């Protein structure tokens, strides 16, 4: 009888353990659509928008003068911004979205943790407009003028969003929604959202633009010296995305450059790529429009070779780059940094607290370079012909 009693207890506890494990397995299930079905407690939807508080239809901020800084939203307490939508008038062409600066401040800090021209932040390069769709960001109809973000932006003790008009003309209308969840206290381990715009006109090598060995021997680059820097972050966090805008002034392929990552004080990169297009999950020097939730080419050049402008993006939704003390993300401009390119990036990441950003490029520094067209190419041919003796039947491949 004692033996049967012990056997019963053993089976009971085994069953209990199985049920507990089964319950734990169910609790650990996750996923966007799964989480959407879960009930939430202690949150309330809130919105700050540009609606006309008189009840009329003038639902926008108006007359934002050149040089003016306007506060778009100031929120107290704890919460998570989960949706932003913006549209602006005049449209690109008259008003440069490269010169309207978006800034975000978290937890009553005196410095912004987000600072970027508003167009590039939402995936609109230079002062152009085109449709763009990714998992966290989009620029939608009509023709890239509806700017949206679904990045989660937590704050524990207040949030402030500003725009600064660095253009030379007045912003006639600035429409926006900022939706957020209000809560008494943030969940544990919620990071603070950061974004930073950088820009550089890169320098070719002293021996020339030696890409593909056409104009000279290619060199080596093992340590990333001279690379374009797209991320220079101090503190703990994880990197989650990049919009990459490149203007190539020649028909040569711009994308032989490798991405190189320096994590937690490394002097040599520990993550090294095999080419710019490879870093963006594409291959073989593409120039075709493509959109995936995590990566794509929303704007590609339509000139000879790779002459002109290209916008590429990648979001690290399932594969963030983690760092404990600092992160330096870089990419070559051509193999061994042998090309002059007009490069700009906006990168996105989370940190354990709101941090200050590196210095932002000035308006003059980020000014888009002009296109190289048939006249410039013909001038190049003219100089080449002179260099070849000005023969009357020179073709071009001599």
CATH number for the domain that contains residue 359: 2.60.120.1390
Task: Clarify whether residues 290 and 182 are in a common domain.
Answer: no
The pLDDT of residue 23: 46
**Buried residues in 58-84 as b, exposed as e (16+ CB within 10 A):** eebbeebeeeeeeebbebeebbbbbeb
Domain finish residue from 188, 203, 218: 188
Domain end among 188, 208, 225: 188
Query: Given the DSSP bridges, would you call strands 44-49 and 100-106 parallel, antiparallel or unpaired?
Result: unpaired
Encoded tokens for 160: 């402030």
pLDDT band at 5 (very low <50, low <70, confident <90, very high): low
Considering the domain architecture, whether residues 215 and 184 belong to the same structural domain is answered as no
Q: Which of the listed residues 173, 188, 203 is the one where a domain comes to its end?
A: 188
* Per-residue pLDDT at 365: 94
Exposure string over 146-157, b if 16+ CB within 10 A, otherwise e: bbbbebbbbbbe
| pLDDT, tens digit, 9 for 90 and up, residues 318-343 | 999 999 999 999 999 999 999 999 99
Q: Which domain does 374 fall in, by range?
A: 191-390
Co-location of 208 and 136 in the same domain: no
The region that residue 165 occupies, defined by phi over 0 for left and psi between -120 and 50 for alpha, beta otherwise, is beta
**pLDDT tens digits along 10-55:** 555 555 454 555 545 555 677 889 989 999 999 999 999 999 999 9
The whole-model pTM stands at 0.92
CA dihedral 8, 9, 15, 16 (to 10 degrees): 150
Same domain? 172 vs 201 = no
Least confident span in 29-38, 203-212, 304-313, 384-393: 29-38
Q: Does 93 fall in a domain?
A: yes
* Angle at alpha carbon of residue 118, lines to 126 and 115, rounded to 5°: 110
Task: Give yes or no: residues 99 and 233 share one domain.
Answer: no
SS3 212: helix
- Cβ neighbours, 10 Å, residue 279: 19
pLDDT tens digits for range 127-162: 999 999 999 999 999 999 999 999 999 999 999 999
Structural contact between residues 117 and 199, judged by C-beta atoms closer than 8 angstroms? no
- Do 87 and 147 contact (CB within 8 A), yes or no? yes
Domain count, the chain: 2
Which residue from 294, 313, 194 is spatially nearest to 243, judged by alpha carbons? 313
Mean pLDDT of the chain: 93
In angstroms, what CA-CA distances link 100 with 69, 109, 164, 167, 278?
10, 22, 6, 7, 32
């Amino acid at each position: 009888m004692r033996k049967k009693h012990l056997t019963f207890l053993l089976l009971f506890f085994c069953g209990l353990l199985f049920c507990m494990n089964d319950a734990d397995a169910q609790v650990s299930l996750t996923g966007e659509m799964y989480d959407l079905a879960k009930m939430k407690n202690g949150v309330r939807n809130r919105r700050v928008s540009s609606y006309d508080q008189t009840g009329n239809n003038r639902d926008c901020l108006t007359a934002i003068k050149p040089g003016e800084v306007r506060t778009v939203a100031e929120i107290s307490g704890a919460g998570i911004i989960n949706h932003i939508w913006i549209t602006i008038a005049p449209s690109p062409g008259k008003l440069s979205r490269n010169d309207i600066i978006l800034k975000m401040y978290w937890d009553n800090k005196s410095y912004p943790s987000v600072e970027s021209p508003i167009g590039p932040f939402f995936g609109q390069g230079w002062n152009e407009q085109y449709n763009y769709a990714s998992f966290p960001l989009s620029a939608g109809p009509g023709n890239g003028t509806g700017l949206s973000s679904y990045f989660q932006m937590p704050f524990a003790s207040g949030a402030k969003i500003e725009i600064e008009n660095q253009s030379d003309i007045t912003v006639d209308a600035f429409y926006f929604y900022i939706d957020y969840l209000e809560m008494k206290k943030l969940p544990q381990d919620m990071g603070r959202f950061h974004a930073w715009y950088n820009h550089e006109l890169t320098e070719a090598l002293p021996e020339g633009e030696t890409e593909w060995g056409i104009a000279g021997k290619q060199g080596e680059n093992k340590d990333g010296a001279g690379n374009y820097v797209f991320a220079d972050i101090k503190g703990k966090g994880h990197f989650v995305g990049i919009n990459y805008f490149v203007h190539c002034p020649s028909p040569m392929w711009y994308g032989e450059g490798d991405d190189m990552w320096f994590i937690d004080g490394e002097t040599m990169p520990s993550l090294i790529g095999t080419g710019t297009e490879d870093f963006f999950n594409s291959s073989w020097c593409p120039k075709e429009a493509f959109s995936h939730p995590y990566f794509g080419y929303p704007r590609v050049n339509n000139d000879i070779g790779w002459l002109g402008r290209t916008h590429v993006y990648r979001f690290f939704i399932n594969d963030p780059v983690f760092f404990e003390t600092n992160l330096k993300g870089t990419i070559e401009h051509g193999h061994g940094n042998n090309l002059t390119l007009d490069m700009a990036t906006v990168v996105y990441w989370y940190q354990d607290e709101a941090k200050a950003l590196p210095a932002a490029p000035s308006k003059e520094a980020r000014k888009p370079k002009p296109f190289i067209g048939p006249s410039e190419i013909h001038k190049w041919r003219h100089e080449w012909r002179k260099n070849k003796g000005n023969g009357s039947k020179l073709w071009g491949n001599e």
